[in-house]
Structure formats: structure tokens, C-alpha cells
Structure 1
Amino acid sequence: MAERPTTSWRHGIAEEAEELSAGTLDPECACMASLFPEELLTTTDSVLDGFEGELPGLGEAPDEQVFAVVERVVLALNAVNDANNGGTFETDEREELCDYIDESLTEHGVDVAALTARHGLGPYQLTNKWRKW
């Protein structure tokens, strides 16, 4: 099963906290908790919950239905990013979220490469039409 980006972000926060507690990390170098506050993690997980709820059956769905699901998750993630000063999902986070969306669709029977090719998109352009992050 595709791992949610929020899982790795939470892991990074916990790992950094352990290093701080052990004295192996200079507090001035700690950034994970400020980059990923709990409200951001919670709202992102809520968006991903909704996305995951729409995945069953998409493997047999028409392209338009798959694109509608992708559009909804991307627009909701845009709102999360905007609510957190618009700079929350940087390059690494963007790649993790896009990979998660692609992997989740694939796990539910959607051939993402074929879907994007049928619509003149490159293999990593599924979210580009709606993504602001």
C-alpha cells in the first residue's frame, strides 16, 4: 500500500525529537516540527482520507471520473497549502504527494501512464492542471 507522505513527515518529526532529546542534534538545526505542524498533518490526512475513499472501483471507471477524483484531491491540497501560507508543499513534498496519488491510483487498477498518454500528458503530469503547490 502506498505510504502517505504525512507518515514519513511524522516519522521525521519523531526522529528529530529523539535526536534533540539525546543531545545529538543542535536545536538550531531542528526544523521538522516547524515545517510540519500538527494542524498541517491533520488537514492533509483528512484530504487523503477523502481521496482514499474515492479509490475503490476507479480501475474500471471512465477517464473523466479518474480525473475528477484527482482534481478534487489536488484542489483540496491546494487549499491546505494556501491555509499554511502557500509555501508548505515545496519540491520534496510535492514529489511525495504526486507519487502517493499515482501509486494509490495504480493500486486500485488505474494505469496512470496509459491514462496520461491518452490525454497527451507526460507520465508525471497527472496533477499539473490543478496543482498550485
Structure 2
Amino acid sequence: MAERPTTSWRRGVAQEADALAAGTLDPDCVCMAELFPEEMLVATDAVLDAFEAALPPLAEAEDARIFVVVERVVLALNAVNEVHGGGAFETGEREELCTYIDESLTEHRVDVMALTARHGLGRYELTDRWRKW
């Protein structure tokens, strides 16, 4: 199963906190909790919960239905990003989210490469139409 980006982000926050508590990290080098505040992680998880709930019927769905689900998750992530000043998802996080969307669809038997090709898109352009992050 595709790992949610929020899982690895939380792991990074926890590892940094542990290193700080152990005295192996200079307090001036702490950044993870600032990059990934709990409020942003909770909001992102809520978006991903809704996305995951919409995945099971997509294996047999028409392209238009799949695109509706992708659009919905991307627009909701746009909203999370906007609430956090447009900086919730930087380059690395964007790539992780796009990979997660792709892998999750693939795990639910959506052929993302064929889907995007049928619509004149490259595989990694699936979210581009709606994505502002």
C-alpha cells in the first residue's frame, strides 16, 4: 500500500524531536515541526482520507469519474496549501503527494499511464490541470 506522505512527514518531526531531546541536534537546526505543523498534517490527512474512500470503485470507472476524484483531491490539497500561506507543500512534498496519488490509483487497478495517454497527457501531468501547490 502506498505510504501517505504525512506518515513520513510525521516520522521526520518525531525523529527531529528525539534528536533534540537527546542533545544530538543543535536547537538552531530544528525545522521539521515548523515545516510540518500538526494542523497542516491533520488537514492533509483529512483530504487523503476522502481520496482513499473514493478509490475502490475506480477500477471499473470511466475516465471522467477518475478525473473527478483526482480533481477533488487536488483542489482540497490546494485549499490546505492556501490556508498555510501557500507554503505547505514545497517541491519535495509536491512530488510525494503526486506519487502517492499515482500509486494509490494504480493499487486500485487504474492504469494511470493509459488514462493520461488517452487524454494527451504525460503520466506525471495527471494533477497539473488543477494543482496550485
Partner of 1:72: 72
RMSD (CA atoms) = 0.4
Q: CA deviation at 1:87?
A: 1.1
Aligned positions of 1:96-107 closer than 5 A: 96-107=96-107
Identity %: 73
Deviations 1:16-68 (A, max 9, x none): 00100111111111100011111000000000000000000201100000000
Number of aligned pairs?
A: 133
Partner of 2:23: 23
Q: Distance in 2 between matches of 1:87 and 1:34?
A: 11
**Letter matched to residue 58 of structure 1:** L
Q: Distance in 2 between matches of 1:105 and 1:33?
A: 30
Deviations 1:96-122 (A, max 9, x none): 000000000000010000000100001
Partner of 1:61: 61
Which consecutive unaligned segments of at least 5 residues does structure 1 have? none
Q: Distance in 2 between matches of 1:110 and 1:11?
A: 29
- Structure 2 residue 41 is matched with structure 1 residue 41: yes
SS at match of 2:13: helix
Q: CA deviation at 1:14?
A: 0.4
Q: CA deviation at 1:123?
A: 1.3
SS at match of 1:124: helix
- Structure 2 residue 111 is matched with structure 1 residue 111: yes
Q: Distance in 2 between matches of 1:115 and 1:74?
A: 17
**Letter matched to residue 73 of structure 1:** V
Q: Distance in 2 between matches of 1:34 and 1:22?
A: 19
Q: Distance in 2 between matches of 1:39 and 1:21?
A: 22
Q: Distance in 2 between matches of 1:57 and 1:87?
A: 33
Partner of 1:14: 14
**Letter matched to residue 130 of structure 2:** W
Report the TM-score, using the length of structure 1 for normalisation: 0.99
Large movers: runs of 4+ above 6 Å: none
